[in-house]
């Protein structure tokens, strides 16, 4: 095996506004998806040590000093994520909060990578200043704090972590099902007020009851497994036909589910079709004395109609975690000014109201830190865009020890003829693999070429930069 070469100070510095980096140990890290991480990977959720991140025997080139990669992490990104980035040798600067826009602009000019949560707004105005930025990590679920389209047009990939908290939500629902069936929160509130009220009427075991899951995706399917193991029979309705886990059974339509389920739990995305998915009509179709649980999105249930259905006794209990309007921060904001029916909801018996905490656990935060950081590392080191929300998805295969390839990443405008132009420029080298995908106006070309001498890389880079379709060029070697 040829020993790693260090040509820092030559090419890495001579090519400005681009990034020369290397396939490094991240090539061989576990897949970025939390779902695929090996069981027991999270050795310590508090310290963030990640057993799964140790490198396998692999090609570990370090042809540039990884200290050249500057990372800015805002809003107290979980330590698990910070550690992964530091282990790569990147220069990582962390801040507990977000930064005022002028300070943000000052800082962002200098970095290749930024990690944020929901408070930092990466608008076109801010991103225009981010001349060196190649990738944004949203260490959260949503990405609407980033101007995704503008970022893509600048060749800046954006990653998030949409599914790291699925298990947390599913577990909460299990807790809610039992709590509702036993009227647990009412009994607890009564005793807090000194009232001893020992009752069994209207309190049930969940064993043998039917759970109807609406939306059998990441959360719905996790819930299905947990509920079955508690002795429930599970039916589900999803717009996509899919095989149930265990003995869970898909039903043909929502009405069939509402007709059969003792507990209905909603796990659909927010879309025009899911607005008021459960309204007056649907509540009427539910079984008498059944329960409704919504941990999905606030718009999915007509809460005014739910108030009526609970007052009439049709619905025996409900757990609501999400609302059409939610306060921006913690405080006593949950009132009628926010949503007109708030007081009515609060006055009901056997209703669990929680402040959008379905996915809020230490484990979820830790998993988000790992998933997003791994995506960032894979993008910086190997050019893989799998999981990016604003870029065409291209996976990058690991290189074997004896594969001395140069990897060219050419992000370009999605216009005809680009592939031919790129291949003309690389024609004297052997193309080992090539992958091009487009998304809207942006296309992403990743190609591995061999027989490239070190002294040829700069010219190759420059010739790609000179193409009219160019958004951003990166050469990884």
Ligand X SMILES: NC(=O)c1ccc[n+]([C@@H]2O[C@H](COP(=O)([O-])OP(=O)(O)OC[C@H]3O[C@@H](n4cnc5c(N)ncnc54)[C@H](O)[C@@H]3O)[C@@H](O)[C@H]2O)c1
Summarize as ranges the residues that interact with ligand X (CB under 6 A).
163, 165-166, 169, 214-220, 237-240, 267-270, 273-274, 295-297, 321-322, 356, 358-359
**Nearer of residues 238 and 371 to ligand X, judged by Cβ:** 238
Catalytic status, residue 297 = yes
Catalytic residue among 267, 297, 412, 472: 297
Contact 437, 443 (CB under 8 A): yes
Q: What is the smallest separation between the CB atom of 165 and ligand X, expressed in angstroms?
A: 5
Which of residues 183 and 274 has its CB atom nearest to ligand X in the complex? 274
The packing angle between helices 166-181 and 184-192, to 10°, is 70
**Which element (helix H / strand E) includes 212?**
strand 210-214
State in angstroms the smallest separation of the CB of 219 from ligand X: 3
Min. distance of Cβ 309 from ligand X in angstroms? 20
Q: Is 370 helix (H, G, I), strand (E, B) or coil?
A: helix
Cβ 278 to ligand X shortest distance, Å: 11
Helices H / strands E in the chain, number of each = 15, 19
DSSP 372-401: HHHHHHHHHHH---TTBSSS-----PPPPT
Helix intervals (H) in 211-302 = 218-229, 254-260, 280-285
Q: What's the min distance (Å) between Cβ of 415 and ligand X?
A: 33
Of the pair 59, 218, the CB lying nearest ligand X is at 218
User: CB burial class (10 A; 0-12, 13-18, 19+) of residue 60?
Assistant: middle
Of 191 and 239, the one with the shorter C-beta distance to ligand X is: 239
Q: Which CB sits closer to ligand X, 90 or 237?
A: 237
Q: Residue 99 has which token pair?
A: 């930064």
User: And the tokens for 30?
Assistant: 């576990």
Q: Could you tell me which residues come within 8 angstroms of residue 196 by beta carbon, excluding any fewer than 6 positions away?
A: 190
Catalytic residue, candidates 356, 397, 413, 470? 356
Catalytic residue among 93, 129, 326, 454: 326
Residue closer to ligand X by CB (options 264, 408) is 264
E-only strand ranges, 245-371: 249-250, 263-266, 290-294, 315-320, 351-353
φ/ψ (deg, to 5) at 319: -125, 125
- In terms of Cβ atoms closer than 10 Å to its own Cβ (0-12, 13-18, 19+), residue 2 is exposed
Residue with smallest beta-carbon separation from ligand X: 217
* Least distance from ligand X to the Cβ atom of residue 213, Å: 9
Instruction: Kindly list the catalytic residues.
Output: 297, 326, 356
């Amino acid at each position: 095996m040829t020993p790693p070469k260090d040509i820092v100070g030559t090419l890495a510095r001579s090519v400005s506004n681009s990034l020369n980096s290397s396939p490094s140990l991240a090539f061989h890290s576990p897949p970025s998806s939390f779902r695929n991480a090996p069981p027991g990977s999270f050795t310590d959720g508090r310290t963030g040590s990640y057993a799964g991140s140790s490198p396998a025997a692999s090609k570990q080139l370090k042809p540039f000093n990884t200290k050249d990669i500057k990372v800015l992490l805002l809003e107290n990104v979980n330590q698990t994520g910070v550690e992964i980035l530091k282990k790569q040798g990147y220069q990582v600067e962390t801040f507990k909060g977000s930064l005022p826009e002028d300070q943000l602009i000052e800082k962002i000019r200098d970095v290749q990578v930024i990690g944020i949560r929901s408070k930092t707004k990466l608008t076109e105005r801010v991103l225009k200043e981010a001349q060196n930025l190649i990738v944004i990590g949203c260490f959260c679920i949503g990405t609407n704090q980033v101007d995704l389209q503008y970022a893509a047009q600048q060749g800046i990939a954006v990653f998030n972590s949409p599914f790291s908290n699925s298990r947390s939500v599913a577990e909460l629902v299990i807790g809610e099902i039992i709590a509702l069936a036993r009227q647990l929160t009412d009994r607890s509130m009564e005793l807090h007020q000194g009232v001893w009220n020992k009752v069994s009427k209207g309190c049930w075991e969940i064993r043998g009851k039917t759970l109807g899951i609406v939306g059998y995706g990441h959360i719905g399917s996790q819930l299905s497994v947990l509920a079955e193991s508690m002795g429930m029979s599970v039916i589900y309705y999803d717009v996509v036909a899919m095989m149930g886990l265990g003995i869970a059974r898909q039903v043909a339509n929502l009405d069939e589910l509402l007709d059969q389920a003792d507990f209905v739990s909603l796990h659909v995305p927010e879309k025009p079709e899911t607005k008021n998915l459960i309204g007056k009509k649907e509540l009427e179709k539910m079984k008498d004395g059944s329960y409704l649980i919504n941990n999905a999105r606030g718009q999915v249930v007509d809460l005014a109609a739910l108030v009526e259905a609970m007052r009439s006794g049709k619905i025996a209990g409900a757990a609501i975690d999400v609302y059409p309007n939610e306060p921006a921060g913690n405080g006593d904001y949950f009132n009628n000014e926010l949503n007109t029916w708030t007081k009515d909801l609060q006055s009901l018996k056997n209703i669990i109201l929680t402040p959008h905490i379905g996915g809020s656990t230490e484990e979820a935060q830790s998993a988000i830190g790992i998933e997003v950081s791994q995506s960032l590392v894979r993008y910086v080191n190997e050019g893989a865009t799998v999981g990016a929300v604003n870029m065409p998805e291209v996976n990058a295969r690991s290189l074997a020890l004896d594969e001395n390839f140069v990897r060219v990443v050419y992000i370009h405008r999605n216009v005809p003829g680009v592939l031919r132009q790129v291949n003309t420029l690389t024609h004297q080298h052997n193309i080992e693999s090539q992958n091009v995908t487009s998304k809207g106006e942006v296309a992403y070309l990743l190609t591995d070429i061999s027989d490239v001498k070190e002294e040829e890389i700069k010219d190759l880079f420059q010739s790609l930069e000179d193409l009219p379709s160019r958004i951003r060029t990166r050469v990884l070697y």
